[in-house]
Structure 1
């Protein structure tokens, strides 16, 4: 095994190929400004859909694009409550019947004790 070892080379971390004949994808740079005053640039493919927000590399805050492009607001659904989900499964008369049954059971159990 020692005869096959490559001495002085970090395996998997370096390549001995040169960059001749390689055509890199077209790129574009997009600048972002952090609310804490940090400014940084991120490189994207020309074909990529460009984000309007990016996490700041220094502090982790949400940075916005320097060119002023703002994303469209997404419609936010109101949170469904327990009552909303219950109403999807039962009608009001059904719920009143169930309540009456449960109250009857509760009152009968109180008489036993």
Structure 2
């Protein structure tokens, strides 16, 4: 039922790409990196580029170095902080009291102005 000599899934010009069509591959060097969990990673780099000091481990995400006996230490994770915790780091208790008092005085002034406006409207 087919058309006989048609090759399914191909088109004109499609074919295996060889070195002649792609060009020559850049010379590569494979460097071994080790993380704190003793995972070994071997990415390849072009020979004409500088190899980085550390590489992120694809298995655990820790930084990896080239010395298997002394890999980089895992990063310190900070516990989650609330907005209030960050505010307390930046402000002292005295600063907080001063800011609170300023905000309360503004609120009291607004309430007094609204109260006066309502009383004035009730008189007319």
TM-score range for the pair, normalised by the shorter chain length: 0.3 to 0.5
TM-score (norm 1): 0.44
Greater fraction of residues in strand: 1
Larger Rg: 2
TM-score under structure 2 normalisation? 0.42
Structure having the higher helix fraction is 2
